[in-house]
Amino acid sequence: MRVNGQSGDCDRDGVYTMRRIAGRPTAVETRRSVIALTGLSFEARIAGPHAVISEGLQTPAILKAAVGQDSRGILSFGVCGGLAPDLQPGQWIVASSILFRDEFHDTDRRWSQSLLQLLPSARYAPIASVEYPLPHGEQRALFYASTGAVVSDMESHFGARLAAACRLPFAACRVVLNPAHRVLPPAALLKLKQGSPDLRAILRSAIAEPRQVRHLIRLALDASIATACLRQAKLLLGPNLGFPESQDESVAIVPLRSPVACR
């Protein structure tokens, strides 16, 4: 898969540059862009023109193709699943670190500080990347107890790895869609099609197991809250997704606050 019709090459320093394809401008020609790593197509539309949609094991190659010599950094941006029991839909999390299996990735402190200031109700805490969604509350509770991560997504580790390889700043801000106590029904766990739900497959699943419909309705309501929060956050973060403009600016870490859902 290509990003906006482009592909990329890696230079000797490990920085991936873009080639022009079909006369389109490349990422190198777009000055100082921030690459947004997302998991869903609607997240990418909100994040802007430099967004990348994760596609599982293909994600590293897709992300490499999007990163140019003038890229400012990589931001993991989108929705997530709650692990901490006190989180509700609409709560923002700015990652203090990214956990994946036995990997540990620090996030860029200055960028994270900027995100905390721009998203005043955000919580500063570890985010876990997982290979598969955790569908039940018991699984999430055990995962929370063993890792200390307050939310999970399926993309952030890809961004953290590539940012480290390319010596780029990396940060992550994610908004809770489904809280820890919410049940993810089978239809919500079906494979996506290029970052979008397969509506026909969801309908077939719902017909086969009608009892999951009430969970799907609740999930849709949660999704509407999270989507509104993403749009609001994009306005607050601006075109460079909260990346600090001045290398000399000083931003104080915002203390942890009680979760406040964005409505």
Contact (Cβ atoms closer than 8 angstroms) between residue 242 and residue 70:
no
Confidence of residue 80 (pLDDT cuts 50, 70, 90): very high
Strongest mean pLDDT among 61-70, 86-95, 138-147, 186-195: 86-95
Mean pLDDT, residues 184-194: 75
Domains, the chain, in order of start with CATH, read 7-237 (3.40.50.1580)
Structure confidence by residue, pLDDT tens digits, 53-68: 999 889 999 999 999 8
Q: What are phi and psi of 258, to 5 degrees?
A: -65, 140
Q: Which long-range CB contacts under 8 A does 94-97 form with residues at least 24 apart?
A: 94/119, 94/122, 94/123, 94/124, 94/125, 94/171, 94/172, 94/173, 95/125, 95/126, 95/127, 95/156, 95/171, 95/172, 95/173, 95/174, 96/124, 96/125, 96/126, 97/126, 97/127
Mean pLDDT of the chain: 82
Q: Is the pLDDT of residue 237 over 60?
A: yes
Confidence of residue 246 (pLDDT cuts 50, 70, 90): low
Mean pLDDT, residues 203-226: 89
Residue 200: the pLDDT is 85
Q: Cα dist. 137→84, 90, 116, 146, 185 in Å?
A: 10, 18, 28, 14, 12
- The Cα 1–Cα 52 span in angstroms is 11
Task: Tell me the two tokens of residue 231.
Answer: 């749009």
Task: Tell me the two tokens of residue 182.
Answer: 């919410």
Q: Cα dist. 218→43, 52, 91, 137, 261 in Å?
A: 20, 28, 17, 15, 16
Residue 36: the pLDDT is 97
21 vs 52, more confident: 52
Residue 194: the pLDDT is 67
Residue 41: the pLDDT is 93
Residue 93: the pLDDT is 98
Q: Is the pLDDT of residue 210 over 50?
A: yes
Residue 12: the pLDDT is 30
